[in-house]
Amino acid sequence: MAKLLLVRHGLTDHNVDRRVAGYTDINLNDEGFRQVEKLKKRLTDEKIDTVYSSDLQRAVDTAIGAVSGRDIEIVTCYELREMNFGEAEEMTFAELNEQYPDLARSVMNVDTGLSFPGGESFAEFVERVRVFLKTLEDFTEDQTILIVSHGATLRVIICELLGINPNHWYQLGIDNASLSIINTYRHRTILNSLNETSYLND
């Protein structure tokens, strides 16, 4: 396959307020746009052949900013969306615990059998991510692909590529506007960088 640059979208007000935002289509806040500018500088020396982004605006704006000035088409993909949290969308954990205490317990216990009312089950979410990964199979080792997505989605992508059970997704830290780098080869996959954010402090 190829060299993969995995980027989580920049900061949003929902991130600041610790509100769930799966399919909710919210925008980056001012700090998020500043993060994207710093991300762009970090990627300056990276050769990027293809860009895939979640079709949600916070990811699209991150992708646009990250490669602005380059003649690269951004391919938006529904499969790269965050998990669909259904009726829990836009709730804080306290609100979730008040309205759906059983679901809140499942979330706290990282129960991978959980399913969000009106949304997705964890199993459905993982399968959606796997559908996206199949699109990468025709790329070659000398190509570099930028993938802009969301926290849980990127965690599952990394687990899948490294052959780790996706049930362990929660053990990976993926911060806003972070960069993780994976090199994929025919017979092996190497994680070169996980959750790099040092450039955001410049």
Cβ pair 6, 179 in contact under 8 A: yes
Please state which CATH class domain 3-86+122-201 belongs to. alpha beta
pLDDT at 125: 96
Q: What is the DSSP letter of 12?
A: B
pLDDT at 109: 83
Nearest one of 187, 149, 177 to 11, comparing CA atoms: 177
pLDDT at 113: 87
The tens place of each residue's pLDDT in the chain, 202 residues long, gives: 799 999 999 999 999 999 999 999 999 999 999 999 999 999 999 999 999 999 999 999 999 999 999 999 999 999 999 999 999 999 999 999 999 998 898 888 878 888 999 999 999 999 999 999 999 998 998 999 999 999 999 999 999 999 999 989 989 999 999 999 999 988 899 999 999 999 999 8
pLDDT at 192: 97
CA dist 127 and 156 (Å) reads 10
Whole-structure pTM value: 0.95
Q: Is 55 strand, coil or helix? A: coil
pLDDT at 126: 96
Say what angle helices 122-133 and 151-162 make with each other, to 10 degrees. Answer: 70
Q: What is the DSSP letter of 57?
A: H
pLDDT at 1: 73
pLDDT at 141: 87
pLDDT at 149: 98
pLDDT at 107: 85
pLDDT at 13: 97
pLDDT at 116: 92
